[in-house]
């Protein structure tokens, strides 16, 4: 696992240190332990965790300002939010997830690793962005969810302030989301294609600029974006 991480960090031009490796080791063992009783991840080998979770999470690291605020929507076991913090992200990060068991795991990891300037929130994405303390308050939103891009945009763009960006981390980019992006106040910036180090796994980072406020109508009530995509 260490050599895979070294290679991945090197290709992404991220400094790899013994301290970072020790924290990732701790995270890995706790993830596997908790996963035995709580469904945190379907990826269960250390090598796959290194590539498909850790290195994958870091593909956005070179693309963002590390002092700005970020919300990780549907963070799951903390990907990419926790990993960004472990390697040195300084800005405020909020981890949002709809399952309390995942939030409990994240709270434990944050405490044990003494991670600063980070917060967990137990909420569905559609509900969280109705909160005035969260709506259009972040420089960045990101998500690794498997939902189509037009659905992800309705989940995520309402959290992004005008002038900020939504970074969707997708295995493919085939969804037609142009209409949704426009309705929700966004504009497609670019799509960056990456082959994850040590694998043939393709990742597309879809960067969407927030150019105007999201209309108050959006997001629609919980469950509607998935049932009736824009």
* Residue-level pLDDT at 38: 87
| Residue 50 lies inside a defined structural domain of this protein | no
| Residue 87 lies inside a defined structural domain of this protein | yes
CA dihedral 202, 191, 94, 116 (to 10 degrees): 80
Q: Where are the alpha helices (DSSP H) in the chain?
A: 2-11, 18-35, 46-48, 56-58, 81-86, 100-112, 125-128, 149-156, 178-183, 224-227
In order, the DSSP letters of 163-215 are EEEEEEEES---S--HHHHHHTTEEEEEEEEEEPTTS--EEEEEEEEE-SPPP
Dihedral pair phi/psi, residue 80, rounded to 5°: -95, -5
Domain that holds residue 86: 63-227
* Residue-level pLDDT at 201: 85
Query: Is the backbone peptide bond immediately before 80 cis, with ω within 30 degrees of 0?
Result: yes
Q: What is the mean pLDDT of residues 213-227?
A: 95
Percent of the chain with pLDDT over 70: 98
* Residue-level pLDDT at 54: 96
* Residue-level pLDDT at 94: 98
* Residue-level pLDDT at 138: 98
| Residue 123 lies inside a defined structural domain of this protein | yes
Q: Which residue has the higher pLDDT, 202 or 91?
A: 91
| Residue 27 lies inside a defined structural domain of this protein | no
Query: Is the backbone peptide bond immediately before 135 cis, with ω within 30 degrees of 0?
Result: no
For 150-202, what is each residue's pLDDT tens digit? 999 999 999 999 999 999 998 766 668 999 999 999 999 999 998 887 788 88
3: exposed, middle or buried (Cβ count in 10 Å: 0-12, 13-18, 19+):
exposed
d(CA 72, CA 126): 14
For 38-76, what is each residue's pLDDT tens digit? 889 888 899 999 999 999 999 999 999 999 999 999 999
Dihedral pair phi/psi, residue 93, rounded to 5°: -120, 135
Say how many C-beta atoms besides its own lie within 10 A of residue 194's C-beta. Answer: 17
Counting the structural domains of the chain, the total is: 1
* Residue-level pLDDT at 173: 66
Q: How confident is the model at residue 209 (pLDDT cuts 50, 70, 90)?
A: very high
For 103-160, what is each residue's pLDDT tens digit? 999 999 999 999 999 999 999 999 999 999 999 999 999 999 778 999 999 999 999 9
| Residue 56 lies inside a defined structural domain of this protein | no
R_g (Cα) of the chain, nearest Å? 17
CATH number for 111 = 3.40.50.150
| Residue 29 lies inside a defined structural domain of this protein | no
């Amino acid at each position: 696992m260490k050599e895979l991480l070294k290679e991945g960090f090197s290709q992404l031009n991220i400094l790899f240190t013994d301290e970072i490796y020790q924290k990732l080791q701790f995270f890995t063992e706790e993830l596997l332990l908790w996963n035995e009783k709580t469904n945190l991840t379907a990826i269960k080998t250390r090598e796959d965790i290194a590539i498909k979770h850790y290195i994958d999470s870091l593909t956005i690291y070179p693309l963002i300002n590390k002092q700005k605020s970020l919300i990780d929507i549907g963070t799951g076991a903390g990907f990419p939010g926790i990993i960004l913090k472990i390697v040195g992200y300084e800005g405020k990060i909020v981890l949002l997830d709809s399952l309390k068991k995942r939030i409990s795991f994240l709270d434990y990891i944050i405490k044990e690793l003494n991670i600063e300037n980070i917060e967990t929130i137990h909420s569905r994405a559609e509900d969280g962005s109705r909160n005035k303390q969260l709506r259009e308050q972040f420089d960045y939103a990101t998500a690794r969810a498997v939902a189509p891009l037009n659905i992800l945009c309705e989940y995520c763009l309402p959290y992004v302030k005008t002038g900020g960006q939504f970074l969707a981390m997708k295995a493919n980019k085939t969804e037609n989301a142009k209409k949704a992006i426009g309705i929700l106040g966004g504009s497609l910036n670019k799509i960056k294609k990456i082959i994850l180090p040590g694998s043939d796994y393709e990742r597309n980072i879809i960067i969407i600029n927030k150019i105007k406020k999201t209309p108050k109508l959006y997001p629609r009530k919980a469950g509607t974006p998935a049932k009736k995509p824009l």
